[in-house]
Amino acid sequence: MTQISNITPQPRRSLLWPGLLAALAFCVLIGLGSWQVNRLAWKEQILSQMAERLAAPPQPLPEPKQWPALKAEDYEYRRVSLSGVFDHAKEVLIFRSSGKLAGRPDGPGYHVITPLALPTGEFILINRGFIPLEAKDPASRAAGQVTGPQTLIGLMRGPEERNLFTPTDEPAKRLWYTRDAQAIGQALALPSFAPFVVDADATPVPGGLPLGGATQISIPNNHLSYALTWFGLAATLLVFFIWFAIRQRRSQA
């Protein structure tokens, strides 16, 4: 007499949903890697352009009639030469969490922003350089409050971006946390001013403060490592899914 087995065969598990999820994740990872490759090309173009502008001889400022149409990418880090008279009574400070002075370790302080009146009547906001916290009062660095016509060389800078952690500016105290020529110029009630700031070079000033040449030149470029990370994760996911699919098929054979 033939004995009928009571063992029911296990249903074959489908790889459809795991495969779809793996394919979706793979596409996302490849997309992120490709985005970083594009960012790499964009960053390398910026660095090349920056190096070219930094090495170029100083140029005259753009004409005031051109200011409304200027875009930051068209002038960022361009070396310019300009002349005018500082209005120290309208000096403002931009807080910086770190800065360097000769003979001192890095520490917090301020960038000193002073309007420079051009002979034509317009104003340019000049980042004269870095001062430590204890030099906040202009009276403590009176020698640096130069008067009369001044000629300087510097770098044109566009507005800084804010983020969730950027404190709120305090115009009433003339204290700012981002370099924003438009907001600062309006707060100072300047009649006509440029939409950019000029960072003064490291030419010494009487008394040593502010210390010019405070421009942050180093720009990180980590996009290649980011791209390799995303592509590596995509490759790992693909290998893992193939291993998973083979193991599933063998267990159901």
CA distances from 144 to 15, 118, 207, 210, 243 (A): 74, 20, 6, 7, 70
Q: How many CB atoms lie within 10 A of CB 252?
A: 11
Give me 252's structure tokens.
């159901």
Give me 161's structure tokens.
């971006």
- 150 touches 85 (CB < 8 A): yes
Residue extents of the structural domains in the chain: 29-56+222-253, 61-200
Residue keyed to tokens 């002979």:
119
**Tens of pLDDT along the chain (253 residues)?**
555 555 555 555 677 888 899 899 999 999 999 999 998 888 888 888 888 888 899 999 999 999 999 999 889 999 999 999 999 999 999 999 888 776 666 789 999 999 999 999 999 999 999 999 999 999 999 999 999 999 999 999 999 988 888 999 999 999 999 999 999 999 999 999 999 999 999 999 999 999 999 888 767 788 989 999 999 999 999 999 888 888 887 777 6
**Global confidence as pTM:** 0.76
CA distances from 189 to 47, 92, 192, 229 (A): 35, 13, 9, 49
